[in-house]
Amino acid sequence: MANPNDPSLHSWIDIAPNSDFPIQNLPFGVFETEERGTRVGVAIGEYVLDLYAVSQFGLFRGLDLPSEPRVFRRRSLNGFIKLGRPVWRAVRQRISQLLRHDNPELRDNEEAMRSCLVRQRDVRMLRPVKPNNYTDFYSSIEHATNVGTMFRDPANALLPNWKWIPIGYHGRTSSIVVSGTDIRRPLGQRKAPDAQVPTFGPSQQLDFELEVSMVVGQGTALGETVPLEQAEDHIFGLLLFNDWSARDLQSWEYVPLGPFLGKNFGSSLSPWVVTLDALEPFRVTGPEQDPEPLPYLHQVGARNFDIQLEVSLQPQGGEENVICRSNFKYMYWSMAQQLTHHASNGCPLEVGDLYASGTISGQSPDSYGSMLELSWRGTKPLTLSDGSQRKFIQDGDTVIMRGFCERNGLRIGFGEVRGTVLPAVE
């Protein structure tokens, strides 16, 4: 059977050359229409392939799927993911085959084609997974160094544990929303360094964080650990992640137990989960790790993925301004190292868990993945195309993150995650 990543594959569906969703991608998501209800789908060009409809037409026959695959009618991918890695792979392989230019099964069946394909503009995308647990890592050395320089000590910006541990903390799942959901500016406590007492009110330092999150595809039992060489078997795929942050709340609350209300008012997900399989052609070596990690975290070979990332800021009624261009390949700690470390004490992983990378910053100032860094804590405001300035995010601003891999004419995209900031309600 053909390799679904083969760059020479093409589909009978007309796909624009710059599309995020060629036949080599086939990311999974959950969508809704009035007519169909909730369905699991796969993005292809400007369309969504409705997997429940595909199964109803018998086009998944021969795969190891339940005969009435209710997993394709649920409000999250969790049920589908729980069927296991061999099933995800077989489904993606079969979809690749169905969509190939030379396969008539769906192409020449007018009725099936109408049922199985729906335009993306006609569907509402839902949050793709129901995460039981969400962890946010802190694995970009440039981001950790920038934050340490601003908040602590430029001479000792990186804390002593940082190069030994993929530092992370637990976040909150109840406020994780899909792209397009408005984000309300949070109220909270903040205290200026020279103030005697704190005040309570709308955050004055609302920020985004450019991140990529893995979606856990295989869980573990209490007490079970995951050797590094098996870590990637536990990953279903990746999506874009905006970890909205209120810097003033965060800096007042976070010592000694870490970020809390400065983070948990909202995090936004892109709706399509790009499988790790589809990203395989874009593996790259990561930054050198010095000192060498302890044996349980020692990884050889190409451990990172070359995913180009960008952030746009769009003022209300205005045009988009690209304010950051970064890349997932900058990560110091790999996803495999993060996951193996996470499981190293026997803490169970669960299907649908989200483990986000932490803010992805590069070395150049235009690659910093947060306003905190881009405006250097408000000291270097950004000027937008309409002449207005930004230290942090204003009410009405829309933040849009995009990501894609590109090599030899093949583009595997993530689509986008966007969110508009609404004024606080006092």
* Pair 260, 246: CB distance under 8 Å: no
Q: Using the rule CB under 8 A, give the single segment among 51-59, 345-353, 389-397, 407-415 that binds its own copies.
A: 345-353
Residue of 302, 347, 382, 410 that binds its own copies (CB under 8 A) = 347
Residue of 179, 245, 264, 361 that binds its own copies (CB under 8 A) = 264
Contact between 289 and its own copies by CB under 8 A: the answer reads no
- For residues 189 and 312, which CB has a smaller minimum distance to its own copies in the complex? 189
Q: Is 143 a catalytic residue?
A: yes
239-261: b or e for each residue (b if 16 or more CB lie within 10 Å)?
bbbbbbbbbbbbbbbbeeeebeb
Question: How far, in Å, are 57, 173, 407 from residue 104 at the CA level?
Answer: 14, 43, 29
- For residues 107 and 184, which CB has a smaller minimum distance to its own copies in the complex? 184
Question: 277: closest CA among 215, 227, 322?
Answer: 215
Residue of 1, 155, 257, 300 that binds its own copies (CB under 8 A) = 257
Rounded Cα distance between 372 and 378, Å, is 7
- For residues 74 and 184, which CB has a smaller minimum distance to its own copies in the complex? 184
In sign, the C-alpha dihedral spanning 73, 79, 84, 85 is positive
Number of amino acids touching its own copies (CB under 8 A)? 63
Residues in region 51-110 near its own copies by CB under 8 A: none
The least distance separating its own copies from the CB of residue 74, rounded to whole angstroms, comes to 17
Q: Using the rule CB under 8 A, give the single segment among 2-10, 46-54, 175-183, 394-402 that binds its own copies.
A: 175-183
Contact between 204 and its own copies by CB under 8 A: the answer reads no
The least distance separating its own copies from the CB of residue 314, rounded to whole angstroms, comes to 21
Contact between 396 and its own copies by CB under 8 A: the answer reads no
Rounded Cα distance between 377 and 251, Å, is 12
Residue of 315, 348, 378, 381 that binds its own copies (CB under 8 A) = 348
* Pair 105, 246: CB distance under 8 Å: no
Out of 10, 101, 143, 298, the active site residue is 143
Contact between 193 and its own copies by CB under 8 A: the answer reads no
Residue of 1, 155, 255, 300 that binds its own copies (CB under 8 A) = 255
Contact between 420 and its own copies by CB under 8 A: the answer reads no
275 marked as part of a ligand binding site: no
100 marked as part of a ligand binding site: no
Residues in region 117-136 near its own copies by CB under 8 A: 132-133
- The CA-based angle 166-170-172, given to 5 degrees, is 145
139 marked as part of a ligand binding site: no
Contact between 353 and its own copies by CB under 8 A: the answer reads yes
Residue of 92, 247, 342, 402 that binds its own copies (CB under 8 A) = 342
Contact between 415 and its own copies by CB under 8 A: the answer reads no
Residue of 98, 212, 261, 331 that binds its own copies (CB under 8 A) = 261
209 marked as part of a ligand binding site: yes
The least distance separating its own copies from the CB of residue 138, rounded to whole angstroms, comes to 6
Residue of 93, 169, 302, 325 that binds its own copies (CB under 8 A) = 169
Which amino acids are annotated as binding site for Mg(2+), given as ranges? 243, 263, 267
Return the active site residues. 143
- For its own copies, the binding residues (CB under 8 A) are 132-133, 138, 152, 159-161, 164-165, 167-175, 177, 181, 184, 186-189, 191, 197-200, 222-223, 225, 246, 249, 252-261, 264-266, 291, 294-296, 341-342, 344-350, 353, 425
